[in-house]
Amino acid sequence: MTEFEHLSLSQLPLPQVIEELSVERLLEQKIKRLMDVFAAHHIPYNVEKTAYDPVVIQLQAAAYEELLLRQRINEVARDNLLTFAHGTSLDHLGDFHGVTRLLDEDDERFRRRIRLNRQGHSTGGTAPRYQYFALSSDIHVKDAFVYREGKSPLIHVALFSDAPSGVADEALIAKVQAALDAPHVKMTNDHIFVKSAVQRMINVSADFWLLPDEGSFVLERAEQNLRAEWARAQRLGRDLSLSWILSRLMVEGVHHVNITHPFEDILVAPDEAVALGDIVLSERGRAY
């Protein structure tokens, strides 16, 4: 299974170890069960639909407690799955797979390294293997892409750093190079060349039509949202599409947006990363 197939798991419904029922369904089941028990002992019971029935009140409390218990059981079970684990639960999963969280490493990055570590278990030097060790060598490596050019035996490792520019400096490149050249990491016949990824600076401009009662501060909020969302989504080889930009600019208070730059989707090579440059948002009118 590839890394991209792993990412799609987050789009699936949450796994359930035990069925989660509504409190109404649980109450209905408990009332029916109690009525069957009463009937078996010839105890008359026919006021179960009244709100002041003490038996129903107790069963309502029991149904709500069972609802919370079922939810908690599923939460604990999900915490044992890599896609859903977080915090210390993810630390223990990482330890099981022989991966330790780096200082200041967030759950998303740590989870990705665990997956790469599993994918990289091979008798030969695989791309996930070298990608895992590149990310593990320093917390400032935001992303790494491993590739060959044609039939060349040279393995290229392009680094994208967490610096605002995304450019990996010489110190970071040297550190990753040393990590990948370690005898327990590099395959005997592999030759590895580490370099900084190529950054493409893209400016964005758009015309805005706001709702009648909204202030111009909406434009500032739209820019902040676009930058924040791209900071989370930014990866090597990640294209910047017009539809993605539009969806992030459509914040509350915006009627519609017309993107004036770029003119088309920005398609990048696997060793390139898009960075947002100047963002110019212009108010053109009001609409409802």
pLDDT range class, residue 5, cuts 50, 70, 90: very low
Report the percentage of the chain scoring pLDDT > 70: 93
pLDDT the model gives residue 6: 47
Is the pLDDT score of 219 beyond 60?
yes
Domain-ending residue, one of 134, 168, 196: 196
Is the pLDDT score of 9 beyond 80?
no
The reply to whether 143 and 208 lie within a common domain is: no
Question: Strand pairing of 198-210 and 191-196?
Answer: unpaired
Distance CA 34, CA 46 (A): 11
Range in 48-52, 158-162, 273-277 the model is least confident about = 48-52
- Averaged pLDDT score across all residues of the chain: 89
The reply to whether 229 and 179 lie within a common domain is: no
Residues spanned by the domain of 184: 120-196
Cβ atoms of residues 282 and 207 within 8 Å:
yes
pLDDT range class, residue 4, cuts 50, 70, 90: very low
Is the pLDDT score of 3 beyond 50?
no
pLDDT range class, residue 125, cuts 50, 70, 90: low
Number of domains, the chain: 3
Distance CA 85, CA 206 (A): 39
DSSP state of 212: T
Is the pLDDT score of 191 beyond 60?
yes
Q: How many CB atoms lie within 10 A of CB 176?
A: 26
What would the DSSP string read from start to end of 228-243? HHHHHH--TT--B-HH
Distance CA 35, CA 41 (A): 10
Map residue 257 onto helix, strand or coil. strand
**For 137-166, how does the pLDDT look when each residue is reduced to its tens digit (9 = 90+)?**
999 999 999 998 888 889 999 999 988 778
Is the pLDDT score of 184 beyond 80?
yes
Range in 119-133, 193-207, 213-227 the model is least confident about = 119-133
Mean pLDDT of 46-58: 76
pLDDT the model gives residue 149: 85
Classify residue 88: in a domain, yes or no.
no
Cβ atoms of residues 229 and 248 within 8 Å:
yes
List the one residue out of 115, 90, 141, 132 whose CA is nearest residue 2. Answer: 115
The reply to whether 192 and 125 lie within a common domain is: yes
Map residue 165 onto helix, strand or coil. coil
The reply to whether 170 and 226 lie within a common domain is: no
Classify residue 98: in a domain, yes or no.
no
pLDDT the model gives residue 163: 87
pLDDT the model gives residue 48: 62
β partners of residue 153 = none
Domain-ending residue, one of 181, 196, 211: 196
Distances (CA, A) of 64 to 22, 30, 58, 68, 255: 9, 11, 10, 6, 43
Distance CA 113, CA 205 (A): 36
The reply to whether 158 and 212 lie within a common domain is: no
The reply to whether 282 and 209 lie within a common domain is: yes
Q: What is the pTM of this model?
A: 0.71
**For 228-243, how does the pLDDT look when each residue is reduced to its tens digit (9 = 90+)?**
999 888 888 899 999 9
Question: Strand pairing of 141-147 and 154-161?
Answer: antiparallel
pLDDT the model gives residue 173: 97
Classify residue 274: in a domain, yes or no.
yes
pLDDT the model gives residue 201: 92
pLDDT the model gives residue 95: 94
Domain-ending residue, one of 175, 196, 217: 196
Mean pLDDT of 89-108: 94
* Cα Rg, the chain, nearest whole Å: 27
Distances (CA, A) of 180 to 113, 194, 208, 258: 15, 9, 48, 46
